[in-house]
């Protein structure tokens, strides 16, 4: 996309020097105008009046910029550049300027409800760091009036302008977050351990979210510094059900480990009894011993042994 922003190249003078000259012109014109009236020198009075009007006109050319700010300069509606030099300056009074902030701004979006890839409603939120990069696109490629909340008018001061951009960023962030969240499942519910999910995706999900935001905000000249998912949970209406399913999955996984360990221990016990010739067991006694050991090892309650003293 073509970059239409460029640096203002018009006449620029030191603001303090012009301030001194304009004060001299204003005070001198007033003093000479008073003398012209006193001595009834009307040509001198007319000249002093014109000089005083000129000094009033020159006051409109003073601008001041702090670090991290810029002024978009227009000459009778035509864009003539962006002024970014820090300090106090004087430029052509016929130009009009709009101040914008180039500093990084933070957006902590409230969690929104979206449907994941499997259709489950989830609550997801993000934190976004952004800043203006292209002032031309910011002012002329999008309509700032439509970005104002409740159809309010956007003023020319930097606060109202940046508030309009914040609303634009918020709306586009919402759309990008819904787009990314709809492509992935919240978590692994089947045997798809290799699939990326919202809960386990981590940096890959955040990178894709940042890419989608960059594509959407580029039209407004906005640069995405960082975008991260900072809240992720099931929606309240299914949270309890999903929690029980997660608990069941965890219990099954734990049982599998317990059974696997119990079988290994039973096999080890039988092998050692046979190798050390401690006792000879027939198939029926082996089956009974395996059954008892599995019950003891896999049971949740503590075993209560019974000592058999009979023959």
Q: Are residues 48 and 154 in the same domain?
A: no
Q: Are residues 208 and 165 in the same domain?
A: yes
Q: Are residues 155 and 89 in the same domain?
A: no
Q: Are residues 30 and 77 in the same domain?
A: yes
Q: Are residues 88 and 146 in the same domain?
A: no
Q: Which of 98, 129, 148 is the last residue of a domain?
A: 98
Polymer length of the chain: 311
Q: Are residues 133 and 174 in the same domain?
A: yes
Dihedral sign computed on CA atoms, order 41, 44, 49, 50? positive
In a domain, 154, yes or no: yes
Residue with tokens 């018009």: 10
Q: Indicate which CATH number applies to the domain containing 194.
A: 3.30.479.30
**Contact yes or no for 247/253 (Cβ under 8 A):** no
The helix/strand/coil state of 172 is helix
In a domain, 5, yes or no: no
In a domain, 308, yes or no: no
**CB neighbours of 53 closer than 8 A, spacing ≥ 6?**
none
Q: Which helix (H) or strand (E) holds 306?
A: none
Distances (CA, A) of 117 to 12, 97, 125, 171, 172: 57, 48, 17, 22, 21
Q: Are residues 151 and 35 in the same domain?
A: no
Q: Which of 75, 98, 121 is the last residue of a domain?
A: 98
**Contact yes or no for 167/142 (Cβ under 8 A):** no
Per-residue pLDDT of the chain (311 residues; tens, 9 = 90+): 567 899 999 889 999 999 999 898 888 888 887 777 777 777 777 888 888 888 888 998 999 999 999 999 999 989 999 999 999 999 999 999 999 999 999 999 889 999 888 888 889 999 999 999 999 998 888 876 555 544 444 455 778 888 888 889 999 999 999 999 888 888 765 545 567 888 887 788 899 999 999 999 998 899 999 999 988 888 877 656 667 666 667 777 777 777 777 788 777 877 777 777 676 767 777 777 777 676 766 766 666 666 555 55
Distances (CA, A) of 176 to 67, 81, 197, 205, 214: 31, 32, 17, 12, 10
In a domain, 2, yes or no: no
Q: Are residues 182 and 252 in the same domain?
A: no
Give buried/exposed letters for 181-192 (b at 16+ CB in 10 A, else e).
beebbbbeeeee
Domain count, the chain: 3
Q: Which of 196, 215, 234 is the last residue of a domain?
A: 234
Q: Are residues 31 and 94 in the same domain?
A: yes
Q: Are residues 226 and 260 in the same domain?
A: no
In a domain, 109, yes or no: yes
Domain limits for position 28: 12-98
User: What residues form DSSP beta bridges with 65?
Assistant: 87
Q: Are residues 280 and 180 in the same domain?
A: no
Q: Are residues 220 and 114 in the same domain?
A: yes
């Amino acid at each position: 996309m073509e970059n239409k922003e460029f640096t203002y190249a018009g006449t620029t003078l030191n603001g303090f020097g012009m301030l001194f000259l304009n004060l001299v012109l204003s005070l001198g014109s007033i003093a000479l105008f008073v003398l012209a009236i006193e001595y009834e020198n009307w040509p001198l009075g007319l000249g002093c009046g014109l000089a005083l009007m000129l000094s009033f006109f020159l006051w409109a050319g003073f601008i001041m910029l702090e670090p991290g700010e810029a002024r978009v300069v227009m000459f009778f509606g035509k864009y003539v550049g962006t002024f970014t030099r820090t300090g106090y300056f004087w430029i052509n009074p016929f130009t009009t300027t709009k101040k914008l902030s180039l500093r990084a701004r933070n957006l902590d979006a409230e969690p929104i409800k979206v449907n994941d890839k499997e259709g489950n409603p989830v609550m997801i939120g993000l934190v976004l760091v952004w800043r203006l990069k292209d002032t031309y696109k910011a002012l002329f490629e999008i309509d700032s009036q439509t970005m104002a909340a409740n159809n309010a008018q956007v003023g020319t001061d930097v606060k109202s302008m940046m508030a309009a951009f914040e609303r634009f960023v918020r709306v586009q962030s919402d759309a990008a977050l819904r787009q990314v969240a709809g492509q992935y499942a919240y978590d692994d519910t089947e045997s798809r351990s290799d699939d990326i999910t919202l809960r386990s995706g981590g940096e890959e999900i955040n990178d894709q979210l940042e890419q989608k935001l960059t594509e959407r905000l580029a039209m407004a000249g906005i640069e995405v510094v960082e975008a991260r998912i900072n809240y992720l949970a099931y929606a309240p209406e299914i949270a309890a059900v999903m929690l029980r399913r997660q608990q069941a999955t965890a219990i099954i996984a734990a049982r599998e480990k317990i059974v696997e360990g119990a079988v290994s221990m039973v096999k080890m016990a039988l092998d050692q009894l046979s190798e050390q010739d401690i006792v000879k067991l027939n198939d029926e006694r082996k089956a009974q011993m395996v059954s008892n050991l599995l019950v003891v090892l896999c049971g949740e309650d503590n075993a209560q042994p019974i000592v058999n003293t009979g023959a």
